[in-house]
Amino acid sequence: MADRYIEVSLVRRAITCTARLLDDRAPITCAAVWDALPLGGDVYHAKYARNEIYALFPPFAASEPPLENPTVTPIPGDLCYFAFAGAELGTKAYGYDREVRPGTTLVDLALFYERNNLLLNGDVGWVPGTVWGRITEGLEAMAEACNDLWRTGAAGETLSFRRAG
């Protein structure tokens, strides 16, 4: 299979980077994401994992992908996939209590833009994610935009994923 690429963007900030799908390491997750593209949603900056931005989506695969190519220490340029039960996120501690309801599932597509990340949640422990993509171009500009998002706020910003080309 030929390499597949996507564009990941912060829409309002007009910043885009390119990522290669890791079909050889996470084939089921890559297929699920690729088939669901384009995707976009409100962006959030992580509170616990450090240098991470992400968007939350309703499940989009026919069945939830298994954990593939797992990590608890993502590095700059990693794209990770997580699935969470609404009961895990639907609390005031996370800030999603108006949008997330118990009994639902959410998919979290995340971009890690700098070092020293640790996927350890005080409520549930280790939270391994599937590394399904790797930024190949534009990480430096995206990291600057992510730092701006951290400092000035995420309100009104969209994180989008679409096929490159």
What pLDDT sits at residue 48? 78
Q: For residue 84, what are its two tokens?
A: 């969470």
**CA-based nearest residue to 131, from 67, 88, 83:** 67
Q: Tell me the H-state helices in the chain.
A: 27-36, 86-89, 139-152
- Residue 136: what residue type? T
Q: What is the pLDDT along the chain (165 residues), one digit of tens a residue?
A: 799 999 999 999 999 999 999 999 999 999 999 999 999 999 999 987 899 999 999 999 999 999 999 999 999 999 999 998 766 665 555 555 556 666 678 899 999 999 999 998 877 789 999 999 999 999 999 999 999 999 999 999 999 999 998
**CB–CB of 160/153 below 8 Å?**
no
What pLDDT sits at residue 121? 81
Name beta bridge partners: 78. Answer: 134
What pLDDT sits at residue 85? 79
**CB–CB of 6/36 below 8 Å?**
no
What pLDDT sits at residue 123? 76
**CA-based nearest residue to 18, from 147, 157, 117, 141:** 141
